[in-house]
Amino acid sequence: MKMRKMLAVIMAAVVSLSIGACGADSSGSGSSNAAPSGTAAASNNSEKKIVLGFAQVGAESGWRTANTTSIQESAKGAGIDLKFSDAQQKQENQISAIRSYIAQKVDVIAFSPVVETGWDAVLQEAKDAGIPVVLTDRAVKMEGGKKAEDYYVTFLGSDFRLEGERAAQYLLDNASKLFPGKKEISIYELEGTVGSAPAIDRKEGFDKKIVTSTDVKFNIVKSQSGNFTRAEGQQVAESWLKSDADKMDVLFCHNDDMGLGAIQAIEAAGKKPGKDIIIVGIDGVKGAFEAMAAGKYNCSVECNPLIGPQLMDIVRKIMDGKTADIPKRIESEEGVFTQEQAAAELPNRKY
Ligand code: GYE
């Protein structure tokens, strides 16, 4: 009797243990479905999520915020596991984020390089690890004759030189209306982050185009960086206005945020932005449209930050082994908007 009882207890224990194990098993495979690194997901390729490491520049402008949202939302929509980092406009932070993505063996790395140079070592490390790299928005330059194109699959972004040319073209086309009777126009140029592709290229495009004017003469009197932020744009404009408030005809800003900061400085100096001082910016952010509709801003050249969906398509193509089909440069379509169009366009603006 004693023996039988003992056996029954042992049997019951074995049964309950195996049920427990069964339960644990099924819930285990359930959770590994959700988590891409689980055993079930690893053994079944169709369930394995693509992991994309994205090293963002920062959150310096309205453009950047819209760009970040676009990337995060489209990764979610595409079912891509996004590892995201914000470098606060510091190159060393971006480099360490990229190094951590390499260490984590992500499938693809994408980043928007804060400045053009200084990426040689980390791009080599990504290449050695066999991790494809996509450049978004800003370009890189390599040292010692190395070809940057050999280190990334594609560049997805805008033609910054063209944007600078378009800003100049607006002034060339509207000179007689904006500056009636004037033969010499003084321009103050608020540059973007020193060493960044958009600051270098927008300056080159604008400066070269503006001197082609035949009827009036445009002079770039001062040019200084406002680091693409509202606060620094305002500060630089303030310091210029202290001595040059009556000389300043045009403020050309490498992005709208700096122009919006400058509006405050201009008003504080007792001048009318958009009338006494003509403001031309780049990006096409909502704030610029609102300022244009209020008559305080004159023109914004569009630069499209909503490149998340295109980036996710590129990542999928790479993972499908179609890297060879991806062009080395993919550009977004952009327009130019003036005060006259601002009110009608405002409801259509997405950023
Ligand atoms: O124009 C500016 C941002 O790289 C195109 O960066 C981007 C620029 C954009 O801070 O607002």
CA distances from 59 to 200, 272, 312 (A): 20, 29, 21
Q: Whose CA is nearest to atom 8 of ligand 1?
A: 198
Q: Which pLDDT score is estimated for 177?
A: 96
Judge contact between 273 and 294, C-beta under 8 A. Answer: no
| 70 Cα to the center of ligand 1, angstroms | 14
- The atom of ligand 1 lying closest to the CA of 58 is 10
Asked if pLDDT for residue 140 goes beyond 70, the answer is yes
d(CA 287, CA 290): 5
- Cβ proximity of 51 and 84 under 8 Å: no
The ligand 1 atom at the shortest distance from the C-alpha of residue 63 is 11
Going from the Cα of 198 to the center of ligand 1, the distance in angstroms, rounded, reads 7
CA of 286 to the centre of ligand 1 (A): 14
Return the ligand 1 atom nearest residue 256 CA. 11
Asked if 49-157+306-320 and 160-303+336-348 have one fold, the answer is yes
Classify domain 49-157+306-320 at the CATH topology level: Rossmann fold (3.40.50)
Which of the pair, 25 or 212, is modelled with greater confidence?
212
Pocket of ligand 1 (CB under 6 A): 60-61, 63-64, 137-138, 198, 228, 255, 257, 282-283, 303
In DSSP terms, 330 is beta-bridged to: 156
pLDDT surpassing 80 at residue 334: yes
Question: pLDDT at position 333, please?
Answer: 83
Domain ranges in the chain? Answer: 49-157+306-320, 160-303+336-348
* Sequence-ordered strand ranges (E) for the chain: 51-56, 81-86, 108-111, 133-136, 154-157, 184-191, 217-225, 250-253, 278-283, 299-302, 329-331, 336-338
Confidence of residue 21 (pLDDT cuts 50, 70, 90): very low
Residue pLDDT, tens place only, 253-300: 999 999 999 999 999 999 999 999 999 999 999 999 999 999 999 999
Cα of 63 from ligand 1 centre, angstroms: 6
**pLDDT surpassing 90 at residue 197:** yes
Closest-lying ligand 1 atom to the alpha carbon of residue 285: 11
Phi, psi of 327 (to 5 degrees): -65, 155
Say what the pTM is.
0.86
Centre of ligand 1 from the C-alpha of residue 114, in Å? 10
pLDDT recorded at residue 46: 57
Confidence of residue 31 (pLDDT cuts 50, 70, 90): very low
Residue 231 in contact with residue 168, Cβ under 8 Å? no
pLDDT at 223 over 90: yes
Q: Which residues pair with 217 in a beta bridge?
A: 184
CATH number belonging to domain 160-303+336-348: 3.40.50.2300
332 pLDDT above the threshold of 70: yes
Mean pLDDT of 47-55: 93
- Is pLDDT above 70 for 37? no
